A and B are shown apart, each in its own frame.
Chain A
Amino acid sequence: MAQLALRNLVKRYGSTEVLHGINLEVADGEFVVFVGPSGCGKSTTLRMIAGLEEVSDGVIEIGGREVNHLEPKERDIAMVFQNYAIYPHMSVRKNIAFGLRSSKMSKPDKARRIEEVAGILSMTELLERKPSQLSGGQRQRVAIGRAMVRDPSVFLFDEPLSNLDAQLRTQMRLEIKKLHQRVGNTIVFVTHDQVEAMTMADRIVIMKDGRIQQVGTPDEVYHRPQNTFVARFIGAPSMNMLDAEMSDGRVIMPQGQAIQLGGLTTAQPGRITLGVRPDDLVPVESDMLIQGKVTVREPLGSETLIYVDTPGGEIVVKADGRKPPAVGEVVRLGADPANLHVFDRETGMVLR
């Protein structure tokens, strides 16, 4: 049985519909990440699950029971907010204890539970401090502690790492992942950062304009994107998109090269978009896919990103960091046909 189920979830503000029928099932103990650009509806979906936004249409089930009309406190959820929402006038201990206010636990049990959570999050020595005496990462841990202490059915995280610097974000990402492996609760995590989504999720839900674009494991959404939006959104740098033509079951590139690809769902002639990831493009002597002139180099140490001006537009390639092509040099690039993605240029949907 799904721990969390969303069935045809719709949200309207007045006459404006912002979520257009979201369907999703999250298994017990699963770590699901909602990812998408600003305004895609991911936070709205999370807030509806939490009970902070009313459901315009559809059903939300938590632990097999419909919760549409239940108050947030009755839903057996806990939420961690983007700006932590830890109360500045309370100590860490009181902040964590706050989550247990409505619990029927005895006082000694509550105290034991707080110590246990503080121990898991390595915060025992910080319990008497005020939030203003904590670093950003420590504050985030307090916020997680306050959510954890109640042992809810579902944890909801609303962009909890956005306010942290890059190094701390990486560290907290790892800590949250370890925490999930340790406690095993169901987690729904919202982020706009695809790296966070890829590194933490069991399954990723990619959203755009109030609709789910694709649901899948990080591997699936990276290697088998269902449309051009997912293909571009997942992966950094983004997948290169080249306009091409389909003719006689072959892909004709802008410079006239023809590539035979198997497994196409349609053999209809027409305009297509060919997607290829920057790390799948390699310099070749024969079987060239495309060629162009290097315009910019971005050294990253182990690799260098090179921007290549081609007749199909500018593309980016991950080159070996030790001997990247020089600016102005003409490069001939090829790719394993197995790593090429073909999309319908009109609908953006995958054809292969």
Chain B
Amino acid sequence: MTAAPDLPDQARPTSDALFRASPSRRPRNMGQTIRWLLLFAGGIAMVMPIAYMISTSLKWPHEVYNVNLIPEEPMIENYTYVLEDGRFYLWFWNSLFIATITTVANLFFDSLVGYTLCKFRFPGRKLVFIAILSTLMIPTEMLVIPWYLMSQSFGWLDSYWGIMFPGLMTAFGTFLMKQFFESVPDDFIEAARIDGLNELQIWWTVAMPLVKPALAALAIFVFLGNWTAFLWPLIVTNSTDMYTLPVGLSSFGDEADVAWELIMTGAAISTIPTLIVFLIFQRFIIRGVVMAGLKG
């Protein structure tokens, strides 16, 4: 820290002068306060459901409908109950397997199609892209019946393949990857072509490493989307052995009552993989943003 300069008395700012200088700062402080308050409110809105999830998972059944955040008699028996129930591990594995395979498939197919639509010139290219984009306008609820009929015809009902096939490639992922490949200069592709790589090698060796941030973002979206998917897995599965975690958790309880404390316990445990996935891929996104800011 630098020492205060030894100023003559008349050169020192008086408290009055300091005060006069502050009016221009006051609105800024005001704005800052409002911004902080808004962020704080947003933070509360994000954290409260998670806090209630954990709180409910520590409550006795009779206390579940009590809105207090701190349980009167906290207990961990819900966790031991859920973890000792063999079905939980099976559902956990089903979800993990399906979300992982679907994520890998999306990273592969979406980026391959996105790259092709971005870097190759062929007749009908725009038409294909518009056709893919237009599927974004069809809601999932409209698609489940054709998907179900398809699964039935192919004999895919109540199977991993049946749960996974609609999401192995997505229009959103294709669009996202195409947009990111636009930022890869054509010179890179052409230099690799001159260096003797075939088109598949260029995609894999040159283009893919340059869109890692997009791949990381896509991986997070797809993994979370599949990890939390409920409607389609509920429709396409029949046996409890094929349930995914969200479907399995919803089955806790009986016809008379829903065991919210167990559902919240399962939900709390099931957030762990999503947190891991987010923490792993978030680094790539941040690194990507930092790299993109550098010249050249």
A contact residues vs B (CB 8 Å cutoff): 50-52, 71-73, 77-79, 81-85, 87-89, 98-99, 101-102, 131-132, 136, 139, 146
Q: Dominant SS at the B interface?
A: helix
Contact indicator per residue, chain B 186-214, by CB within 8 Å of chain A (1) or not (0):
01101111111100000000100110000
Q: Closest A-chain residue to B197, C-beta based?
A: A101
Verify if B41 is at the interface (C-beta below 8 Å from A): no
Verify if B3 is at the interface (C-beta below 8 Å from A): no
Verify if B70 is at the interface (C-beta below 8 Å from A): no
Whether B195 pairs with A77 at a CB distance below 8 angstroms is: no
Shortest Cβ distance from residue A89 to the other chain B in the assembled complex, whole angstroms: 4
Whether B187 pairs with A78 at a CB distance below 8 angstroms is: no
Whether A84 pairs with B210 at a CB distance below 8 angstroms is: no
Q: How far is the CA of A98 from the CA of B206 in the complex (A)?
A: 10
Q: How far is the CA of A81 from the CA of B190 in the complex (A)?
A: 9
Whether A50 pairs with B196 at a CB distance below 8 angstroms is: no
Question: In the complex, what residues of B have CB within 8 A of residue A78's CB?
Answer: 194
Please name the 8 residue pairs, one residue from A and one from B, whose CB atoms are nearest each other, closest first.
A102-B196, A73-B196, A85-B191, A85-B187, A89-B209, A81-B187, A72-B194, A72-B193
Question: In the complex, what residues of B have CB within 8 A of residue A87's CB?
Answer: 188, 206, 209-210
- Determine which residue in B185, B193, B195, B209 has the highest number of CB atoms from chain A within 10 A of its CB, and name it: B195
Whether B185 pairs with A85 at a CB distance below 8 angstroms is: yes
Q: How far is the CA of A73 from the CA of B291 in the complex (A)?
A: 31
Verify if B296 is at the interface (C-beta below 8 Å from A): yes
Question: In the complex, what residues of A have CB within 8 A of residue B294's CB?
Answer: 132
Whether B191 pairs with A81 at a CB distance below 8 angstroms is: yes
Whether A101 pairs with B196 at a CB distance below 8 angstroms is: yes
Shortest Cβ distance from residue B237 to the other chain A in the assembled complex, whole angstroms: 41
Whether B194 pairs with A88 at a CB distance below 8 angstroms is: no
Whether B195 pairs with A139 at a CB distance below 8 angstroms is: no
8 Å CB interface, B204-232 against A: 206, 209-210
Shortest Cβ distance from residue A158 to the other chain B in the assembled complex, whole angstroms: 9
Shortest Cβ distance from residue A69 to the other chain B in the assembled complex, whole angstroms: 15
Q: Closest A-chain residue to B194, C-beta based?
A: A72
Q: How far is the CA of A73 from the CA of B196 in the complex (A)?
A: 5
Shortest Cβ distance from residue A183 to the other chain B in the assembled complex, whole angstroms: 18
Whether B194 pairs with A77 at a CB distance below 8 angstroms is: yes
Q: How far is the CA of A102 from the CA of B206 in the complex (A)?
A: 15
Question: In the complex, what residues of A have CB within 8 A of residue B209's CB?
Answer: 87, 89
Shortest Cβ distance from residue A299 to the other chain B in the assembled complex, whole angstroms: 34
Question: In the complex, what residues of A have CB within 8 A of residue B187's CB?
Answer: 81-83, 85
Partner of B190, one of A85, A101, A131: A85
The number of residue pairs between A and B whose CB atoms lie closer than 8 Å in the complex comes to 59
Shortest Cβ distance from residue A5 to the other chain B in the assembled complex, whole angstroms: 20
Whether A99 pairs with B296 at a CB distance below 8 angstroms is: no
Whether B185 pairs with A83 at a CB distance below 8 angstroms is: yes
* 18 pairs from A and B in contact (CB 8 Å cutoff): A50-B190, A51-B194, A52-B193, A72-B190, A72-B193, A72-B194, A73-B193, A73-B195, A83-B185, A87-B188, A87-B206, A88-B210, A102-B195, A102-B196, A102-B197, A132-B291, A132-B294, A146-B195
Q: How far is the CA of A172 from the CA of B206 in the complex (A)?
A: 27
Whether B296 pairs with A139 at a CB distance below 8 angstroms is: yes
Question: In the complex, what residues of B have CB within 8 A of residue A50's CB?
Answer: 190, 194
Q: How far is the CA of A258 from the CA of B210 in the complex (A)?
A: 68
8 Å CB interface, B75-99 against A: none
Shortest Cβ distance from residue A34 to the other chain B in the assembled complex, whole angstroms: 18
- Determine which residue in B194, B210, B291 has the highest number of CB atoms from chain A within 10 A of its CB, and name it: B194
Q: How far is the CA of A338 from the CA of B196 in the complex (A)?
A: 53
Q: How far is the CA of A102 from the CA of B185 in the complex (A)?
A: 22
Question: In the complex, what residues of A have CB within 8 A of residue B192's CB?
Answer: 98
Question: In the complex, what residues of B have CB within 8 A of residue A132's CB?
Answer: 291, 294, 296
Question: In the complex, what residues of B have CB within 8 A of residue A51's CB?
Answer: 194
Question: In the complex, what residues of B have CB within 8 A of residue A136's CB?
Answer: 296
Question: In the complex, what residues of A have CB within 8 A of residue B190's CB?
Answer: 50, 52, 72, 79, 81, 85
Q: Closest B-chain residue to A90, C-beta based?
A: B209
Q: How far is the CA of A82 from the CA of B187 in the complex (A)?
A: 9
Question: In the complex, what residues of B have CB within 8 A of residue A83's CB?
Answer: 185, 187, 296
Question: In the complex, what residues of A have CB within 8 A of residue B206's CB?
Answer: 87
Shortest Cβ distance from residue B209 to the other chain A in the assembled complex, whole angstroms: 4
Q: How far is the CA of A92 from the CA of B197 in the complex (A)?
A: 19
Q: Closest B-chain residue to A73, C-beta based?
A: B196
Q: Closest B-chain residue to A131, C-beta based?
A: B296
Q: Closest B-chain residue to A75, C-beta based?
A: B194
Whether A98 pairs with B195 at a CB distance below 8 angstroms is: yes
Q: Closest A-chain residue to B190, C-beta based?
A: A52
| Additional 4 contacts, C-beta under 8 A, given A51-B194, A81-B187, A88-B210 | A50-B194, A83-B185, A87-B188, A102-B196
Whether A85 pairs with B196 at a CB distance below 8 angstroms is: no
Q: How far is the CA of A78 from the CA of B190 in the complex (A)?
A: 11
Shortest Cβ distance from residue B293 to the other chain A in the assembled complex, whole angstroms: 10
Shortest Cβ distance from residue B281 to the other chain A in the assembled complex, whole angstroms: 17
